[in-house]
């Protein structure tokens, strides 16, 4: 089955390419003005290195998308402006993510006796294992963040990985880390929009996405682009953020939880599980494996770091991580950032960002407890051998 075309004719395709190039140049210039050389630092030390004026622009650029709340009109605007919404979001939150969570921006399953970092790596290894990624493969990481999962999967499988990201700052950080850890021959990271990829068709043996394609305005759009760049017989694996079958959009409490996740995580629209599954099938993928890894009745819930459930802490190192990610730790960070902002050390709007992240954390935990949301709906899919792009 052929994947749907993203453009209708050569004229519109050329126009889209020129517009994308213009947008890329604009984003790159803005990222340089905002972040400077802070990509060489981490966490709050990187935060205080930002250009204050440019940071205010990013803050206003992001939060303007949420002025109208949950109205259909404002939701449509967020979907239309998904690229800028996501780019602004990660300009604002990347340093906070690394400070609290490390360089792998995703959730994981946890086991007793297993340290936080170990669980993170295992979750990445599990995806690579289910996809059967190996050393002779050329692999695409869609929405690669600062490259934490890519570095781990590269070490685990010895494959070659190209990371795609629409945020220049994260691309710069990911390439910096690849050089720092001597993986530059196996890893490379590029700027691009996953709704209109610049790669040649059928150029990758495998593609994966870890909690990233949720930023797409329409899942068929990103899935069809992935389908296009995969070789026939190639495999696509994704940990997808979705609302579960228990979610009812007409339920006011449910929608409030979903909206809190959207605002705090830069997501134009949360979709249900069945929407993601149908989107994969619509573009031509054959689903070989699917499982909600958050629905396994694990003794340690996936959201425990955000809930601050200290009884699950396994190591001294975990204690420091869980403190930063817990409600108490987030409150301390928020007030510290607010003080830094007043003193002119942190960019204006930094506390507003931490408040949005706090709201997201609260709703992620509540969505997890009520089993309305999962961050790890795993699909492993195959592009048919007889597929045509």
CA 309/CA 304 separation, integer angstroms = 6
Q: For residue 209, which of 101, 127, 122 has the smallest C-alpha distance?
A: 127
What pLDDT, on the 0 to 100 scale, is given for residue 30?
A: 67
Q: Is 223 exposed, middle or buried (0-12, 13-18, 19+ CB in 10 A)?
A: buried
Q: For residue 379, which of 144, 211, 221, 147 has the smallest C-alpha distance?
A: 211
Query: Over the stretch 200-234, which tens digit does the pLDDT of each residue have?
Result: 999 999 999 999 999 999 999 999 999 999 999 99
- Contact of 20 with 196, CB cutoff 8 Å: yes
Residue 58 to residues 33, 259, 272, 290, 293: CA-CA distances in angstroms?
11, 21, 29, 37, 35
CA 61/CA 84 separation, integer angstroms = 8
> Where do you find CATH 3.40.50.150 in the chain?
116-298+371-382
Residue 80 to residues 55, 70, 76, 85, 226: CA-CA distances in angstroms?
23, 15, 6, 9, 20
Which residue has 């492993």 as its token pair?
380
The phi, psi pair for 160, rounded to 5°, reads: -105, 135
What pLDDT, on the 0 to 100 scale, is given for residue 69?
A: 66
What pLDDT, on the 0 to 100 scale, is given for residue 31?
A: 67
What pLDDT, on the 0 to 100 scale, is given for residue 22?
A: 53
CA 89/CA 95 separation, integer angstroms = 11
What pLDDT, on the 0 to 100 scale, is given for residue 50?
A: 65
Architecture of domain 116-298+371-382: 3-Layer(aba) Sandwich (3.40)
Q: What is the mean pLDDT of each run of 10 residues along the chain (389 residues)?
A: 38 45 66 70 71 74 74 79 84 87 94 94 98 97 97 98 95 95 97 95 98 96 98 98 97 95 93 97 98 95 92 89 88 89 82 88 96 98 89
What pLDDT, on the 0 to 100 scale, is given for residue 51?
A: 64
Which residues in 306-320 are b (16+ Cβ under 10 Å) and which e? bbbeeebbbeeebee
What pLDDT, on the 0 to 100 scale, is given for residue 241?
A: 98
């Amino acid at each position: 089955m052929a994947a749907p075309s993203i453009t209708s004719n050569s004229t519109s395709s050329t126009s889209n390419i020129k517009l994308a190039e213009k947008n890329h140049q604009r984003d790159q210039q803005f990222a340089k003005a905002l972040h400077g050389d802070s990509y060489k630092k981490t966490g709050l030390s990187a935060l205080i290195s930002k250009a204050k004026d440019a940071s205010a622009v990013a803050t206003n650029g992001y939060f303007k998308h949420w002025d109208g709340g949950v109205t259909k009109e404002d939701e449509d605007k967020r979907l239309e402006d998904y690229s800028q919404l996501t780019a602004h979001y990660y300009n604002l939150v990347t340093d906070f993510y690394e400070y609290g969570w490390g360089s792998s921006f995703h959730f994981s399953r946890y086991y007793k006796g297993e340290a936080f970092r170990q669980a993170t790596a295992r979750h990445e290894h599990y995806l690579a294992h289910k996809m059967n990624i190996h050393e002779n493969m050329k692999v695409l990481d869609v929405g690669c963040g600062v490259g934490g999962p890519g570095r781990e999967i590269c070490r685990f499988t010895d494959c070659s990985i190209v990371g795609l990201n629409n945020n220049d700052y994260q691309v710069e950080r990911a390439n910096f880390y690849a050089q720092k850890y001597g993986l530059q021959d196996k890893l490379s990271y590029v700027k691009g929009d996953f709704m209109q990829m610049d790669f040649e068709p059928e150029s990758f043996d495998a593609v994966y996405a870890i909690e990233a394609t949720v930023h797409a305005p329409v899942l068929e759009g990103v899935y069809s682009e992935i389908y296009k760049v995969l070789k026939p017989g190639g495999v696509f694996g994704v940990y997808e953020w979705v609302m579960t079958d228990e979610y009812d959009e007409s339920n006011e409490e449910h929608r409030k939880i979903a909206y809190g996740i959207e605002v705090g995580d830069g997501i134009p629209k949360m979709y249900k599980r069945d929407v993601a599954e149908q989107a994969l099938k619509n573009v031509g993928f054959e689903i070989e494996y699917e499982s909600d890894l958050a629905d396994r009745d694990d003794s340690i819930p996936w959201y425990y770091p955000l809930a601050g459930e200290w009884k699950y802490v396994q190591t001294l190192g975990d204690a420091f991580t869980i403190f930063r990610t817990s409600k108490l730790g987030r409150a301390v960070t928020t007030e510290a950032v607010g003080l830094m902002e007043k003193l002119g050390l942190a960019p204006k709007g930094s506390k507003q960002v931490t408040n949005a992240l706090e709201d997201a954390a609260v709703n992620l935990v509540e969505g997890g407890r009520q089993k309305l949301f999962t961050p790890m709906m795993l699909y492993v899919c195959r592009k048919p051998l007889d597929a045509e792009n």
